[in-house]
Structure 1
């Protein structure tokens, strides 16, 4: 059971009362408008024109894998917001992977990686993932230069937004800059009538935030003076001191979140004020204030997950009085880590390194990268944890957010940062009054198309026809389609790469030119309407005799190394493919099933090569009965229905979801192969049976279709390329004269089989330094605990 649900049950038991508008509104919002968020892991932090950008994408629903979207748009824009390249990728259990090819003549500049699902586009564009990427090109007339310390500004944010007479108040001071940040900064609070006297002072905790405490007095005007290490100053007026109000004081530690409702000295009656807590737009805490003093209340955290908790105070009229964001268990980050073992490490050039790690319970697939770095103290600015727990839920610019989840993190700074922020994924007033988002883009199951069939230029209602195509293995696939009363049809849950020709023909009739099929994809890119994020870099002219930056020159050489190695690998693979002999069942399996329907847990029955016969069985499912442990075939409504381990199995016919009744017209002699899956996979939400029919190849067919058939062309997902890790064992050293790679290993999908250890092998470059290993995974059982490891190989 999920932790969030448990806490809500505990809290509601203490205050038995009818649900109010706010509670109903947030529950409806969570149910009907779940919020996806995206994290992109890149193979490196900067690129050269002509490079491949390799990436792994994670799509979350709150803190768990998203089951909402099955397709991901990834786009790259230049500084003028012109689209440079794009990809449409399938998502399997909230994960996707791919690459973006940069043109050789791409100009040096900052580019913007944008990633989103159709569902995300229904909400504010501020929450669409955008990441800046530096691309270098020594041939460009201009070069990138990091801006110096810019003309920064500062803002001040009282805790819970309240600045009340006589109430000691904690305030966050937020620094904003579009360029470099000051080396250090500090500030003081003064009375505007006595600016020479400091009432309170503070030091900046990092490049984002500082904090101070003070007790304001009615009638006084206060200012905060901020000064950096270079002497630049900025003066900010504090809010007008309120005579009456409510101050929400919050202290978050690992065991509990303690809060106080503090009223002004004007004796405000706090009875029946309501406190609601939400995480990821989910109601996790509610309580009614029963006392009038400054009593402390405590929210136990043992049943809460790491993340941003929004506490909101409502009066009896359900008006928001105060709100505050805080982080749950800031000192106790629940992160699973792999145990690296059997480490074989070498500091010699081009030598082999190896480590292993055992598969963790509930974690089945891992993203692994190894980088050669000179300074282990240099930390990444963003990572999976900062995307998951912080930046994807906030809209302001946060410098180096990964620091708040590092070993040397400052929980004080994180708390001050959240004091300065407001939750913007929803507005309480809007959802209480029923003003919910308008859903324009509904999630589509993988590739989905809508179309129409016409005969003699008129709609053909309730008409059956077949679509046929050859997949990448040259297998003939047939899709039966029937139009509705208007002559329209829909196709869903299709998975194929690149562009495919689909041939069509009416059932039981000779195909003629007066039959036309039109179809279009239900997936469409969303225009980039927001302004681009402000960059910390600028362009300046490059002198003709200027030498390339040594690090950039290293990237240029590394790109050439990888390109040449990829060419060699492709040549070798072609030779291996021709020479390698596989057993006939494996060949058949590869020919008939796509990669999405291949799994380590599959049980295969080969009717082509194994001399199997299903003659005498009433149907193909009945033939399976008793042949697979845990598989049971039941008769329901006159149909054979498959159950695996007590749960109804999904039936796929030639990899298209099918009802058992659709098998009635298929002769058992036409079956080529059956596969039984007992677990969850990329395209299967549970156990399933995949049935493959025999495919034709007769002389009267051309390109897998009968001559005379009309065709339409449909675009599928962009084809995924394989990343080739340098392997000196099977490579002639002379083929790589100089090895200056910084990326030593990249694999976005290390799958562990049969509980065997994952073995990672990689080779050093010509000047090895320190090997930084990053391993990432998400749990399969919604326990909300990511696996994240990023350390120097011991």
Structure 2
């Protein structure tokens, strides 16, 4: 067997490369050049806790690093953050300035925008969009609504077999009381598609019963059963179909090929019906029923097994519970790539079936897009590469054949234990409630050198929020998770156990992110500043060059600013040098004039920003048996007990939840207190400002459609089965055009002209009146006697859509030539976290101080000696605290720390 040292391995590159392999070698060099000159970016978000209540605020700090070296990136100056619900809808999107590779922001989870359920936090820069969404940051969290109460269900019978859904269950609240006569929505979903949906009412004992046969079911994959009420997801569980295995077990041969007659490692991964790793144990047998070897998972259902497969033998894994799973079939021809962690080096073995022995292959070892070793060889071959050649992270090793086709791939995790050392000391061993805490931070590297850098800290009340020991952090994400595909459970475990069988299994079973990119044209450039670009032209689309363009802007209700510029020869203008924004309610009015200083025949077009779509094929829930697990229950119950205790000890104003319907300012709503069945607010309309009013109605109004009402053949706009009448600023559009049977199509064109004329940015709000309690006043005011006589749910009923415009001028609005109203997604600086200060622990407060996030600081800067000081006050909770600290050095290096803070609950005098 041949052995090859690293230096010789590298020196042989030019000797053996020829033909297509020579082209491959040149392409590899190009990859190196591109990833060095224009590196990708990686982004990690540290947010304060894993779940939130409705109306809480997410406090977050972003770390933006170059992917090739994990150094702070100053190329992109704007980052985008999105919150996406379980239906893949972007509920909130914000942008924030980014300087020196870091940014901070905060997002309020208002009850107008968010409901109880699972959500995804996603973040990226415009530059990252050149490479797809592989390196977009994604992290899941929960929002709970303690006021919803209902969150548990007892299943008596629950199955889906042969397209028949059977359910017998009992619904209870968190106090274990049955919910009698409770009206709930029930839904069965597959891959986020609704297979079945209905609305039911529990009986006197809180029972629900379903026995139905579904038709046209395309697939039965990842079936999810849900109960929800008023938009809040209350209960969620997978459907355990009788024809589906409870465990999914897959075996993946090392390097991707399973060659007969060669000893090989296989990584395996076992998932339960929730998509989570589950521990397994069993044996592998051949076609003759003979036991070949045994196996057992090492961590989260993953493990490694080795044996020599024989040709014409099929292998099956048998679990202890009797489940059977087939292994890949051994192949008579192919190559084998085996990598072993040999302490200070990676031992690589390349072997092949007899028919391929002696043929030339090319091997490449890369990390984050940079090639660290490459060369040509003939199997069988063994070589070692010193691990010091690589920095800490995931190494990708690829074997190419003579046609430059990849035939084997393998990933290995290298960890030099070189994280920054974060030392945090408190000025006393224990603290009481409302007590002053002073912490001293000192950061050093592995050689005890001082590290100046920037860090973020969250202090969490562990009596309310549980923080997982091995949760994702800056170190595990940048070095591990971001370079692997799929979800990794408890990723920090693999950093702490870098040479374990579990880590080797992870590398064998998880695919990796490719950095190969040789496209010289970039669709997206680094976004260095917020800018607004547009074009001024006439009605014939001829550009106005040297045209004067002015911009008047307002941030919120105050803080006006003014900018001006002129168009170039193509009629294009750009506004930059905007002030720093601290509010996300930025409005711009852009005005252009022709050479005569007039707005006549002048049009303004802005290129609207585009954002990446989100579509996930992952399971639609987090994996809990019910949506709100014991941790969330503990949070709710603990908070309730603390409030009750505070009430017993002193008077304070109880928290009030406002449930009144949204009012539209300036609305001509005829109902007392502005009652309506459905309300679309200006805040909701601001998310799609350029959509037409018609598109808004189709997207946001439940049941809005074009159809025929009962006992009629005339097409019209309907809400469910009700005929729609449109009221704009109190003016009935039907008044201007009362159709006959012969002119009904003209009437639809008349309506469409108005509904498409207005855009969402012209509208202040929309109210929909469907039921008699809300539409009766409108019938009395707007319907003719004949229409009122025939108006009933049995014949035809009416829904009224009250549209309130920003001008209040009704359907007579004329858009102003040469003017453009624009509400951009402006980058906003995050607010400062409010941390109360107490003069005495006995100080009384109106509200009890029960912060679950006791302290948040995204801007801890260490000096040239690696030192910084932090201070805050404890809350009134008598539980323990955990401190989560992480950050990067200005010149590189990352560090994380999680440690308890002792809070005894006694008042210190």
Q: Same fold (TM over 0.5)?
A: yes
- The equivalent of 1:452 in structure 2 is 535
Asked if 1:343 is matched to 2:427, the reply is yes
- The equivalent of 1:761 in structure 2 is 871
SS of 2:65's partner is strand
Q: 1:123 aligns with which of 119, 123, 131?
A: 131
> Do 1:178 and 1:536's aligned partners in 2 also have CA atoms closer than 8 Å?
no
Asked if 1:83 is matched to 2:93, the reply is no
CA drift at 1:529: 3.2
Q: 1:96 to 1:723 in 2, by over 3 A?
A: same
- The equivalent of 1:584 in structure 2 is none
Q: Deviations 1:305-324 (Å, cap 9, x if unpaired)?
A: 11111101112322222111
Asked if 1:139 is matched to 2:225, the reply is no
Higher mean alpha-carbon deviation, 743-752 vs 339-348, is at: 339-348
The CA distance in 1 between the partners of 2:851 and 2:642, in whole Å, is 5
Asked if 1:70 is matched to 2:165, the reply is no
SS of 2:58's partner is strand
- The equivalent of 1:389 in structure 2 is 479
The CA distance in 1 between the partners of 2:861 and 2:318, in whole Å, is 55
Q: 1:480 to 1:10 in 2, by over 3 A?
A: farther
Q: 2:264 aligns with which of 144, 169, 182?
A: 169
Q: Deviations 1:220-271 (Å, cap 9, x if unpaired)?
A: 11112234xxx3x43222222222322111012552111111223456105x
The CA distance in 1 between the partners of 2:527 and 2:468, in whole Å, is 41
The CA distance in 2 between the partners of 1:236 and 1:772, in whole Å, is 43
Asked if 1:317 is matched to 2:400, the reply is no
CA drift at 1:356: 0.7
Map of 1:433-512 to 2, 5 A cutoff?
439-453=522-536, 459-463=543-547, 481-492=565-576, 494=578, 496-497=580-581, 498=584, 499-501=586-588, 512=598
The CA distance in 1 between the partners of 2:894 and 2:851, in whole Å, is 29
Asked if 1:55 is matched to 2:60, the reply is yes
SS of 1:735's partner is coil
The CA distance in 2 between the partners of 1:425 and 1:472, in whole Å, is 43
- Normalised by the size of structure 2, how large is the TM-score? 0.61
RMSD over equivalenced CA pairs, Å? 4.2
Q: 1:780 aligns with which of 890, 903, 906?
A: 890
Q: 1:525 to 1:718 in 2, by over 3 A?
A: farther
CA drift at 1:46: 1.0
The CA distance in 2 between the partners of 1:42 and 1:555, in whole Å, is 21
- The equivalent of 1:108 in structure 2 is 116
> Do 2:116 and 2:145's aligned partners in 1 also have CA atoms closer than 8 Å?
yes
The CA distance in 2 between the partners of 1:496 and 1:377, in whole Å, is 35
The CA distance in 2 between the partners of 1:780 and 1:56, in whole Å, is 16
- Normalised by the size of structure 1, how large is the TM-score? 0.69
Higher mean alpha-carbon deviation, 156-165 vs 745-754, is at: 745-754
Asked if 1:399 is matched to 2:489, the reply is yes
CA drift at 1:116: 2.5
CA drift at 1:463: 4.8
- The equivalent of 2:304 in structure 1 is 211
The CA distance in 2 between the partners of 1:490 and 1:763, in whole Å, is 47
Structure 2 gaps of 5+ residues are 152-233, 241-245, 445-449, 647-651, 656-817, 903-909
> Do 2:592 and 2:602's aligned partners in 1 also have CA atoms closer than 8 Å?
no
| Count of aligned residue pairs for this structure pair | 621
Q: 1:790 aligns with which of 885, 895, 898?
A: 898
- The equivalent of 1:681 in structure 2 is none
Q: 2:461 aligns with which of 355, 372, 376?
A: 372
> Do 2:237 and 2:627's aligned partners in 1 also have CA atoms closer than 8 Å?
no
The CA distance in 1 between the partners of 2:467 and 2:832, in whole Å, is 32
Map of 1:406-425 to 2, 5 A cutoff?
406=496, 411-425=500-514
Asked if 1:530 is matched to 2:537, the reply is no
The CA distance in 2 between the partners of 1:356 and 1:528, in whole Å, is 42
Asked if 1:247 is matched to 2:254, the reply is no
The CA distance in 2 between the partners of 1:402 and 1:749, in whole Å, is 24
Q: Deviations 1:647-704 (Å, cap 9, x if unpaired)?
A: xxxxxxxxxxxxxxxxxxxxxxxxxxxxxxxxxxxxxxxxxxxxxxxxxxxxxxxxxx
Q: 1:99 to 1:372 in 2, by over 3 A?
A: same
Asked if 1:286 is matched to 2:374, the reply is yes
Q: 2:27 aligns with which of 25, 28, 37?
A: 25
Q: 1:333 to 1:533 in 2, by over 3 A?
A: farther
CA drift at 1:170: 0.8
> Do 2:105 and 2:831's aligned partners in 1 also have CA atoms closer than 8 Å?
yes
Q: 1:226 to 1:425 in 2, by over 3 A?
A: farther
Higher mean alpha-carbon deviation, 731-740 vs 352-361, is at: 731-740
> Do 1:50 and 1:101's aligned partners in 2 also have CA atoms closer than 8 Å?
yes
Q: 1:356 aligns with which of 437, 440, 457?
A: 440
Q: 1:556 to 1:275 in 2, by over 3 A?
A: farther
- The equivalent of 1:160 in structure 2 is 255
**Structure exhibiting the larger radius of gyration computed from Cα positions:** 2
> Do 1:178 and 1:534's aligned partners in 2 also have CA atoms closer than 8 Å?
no
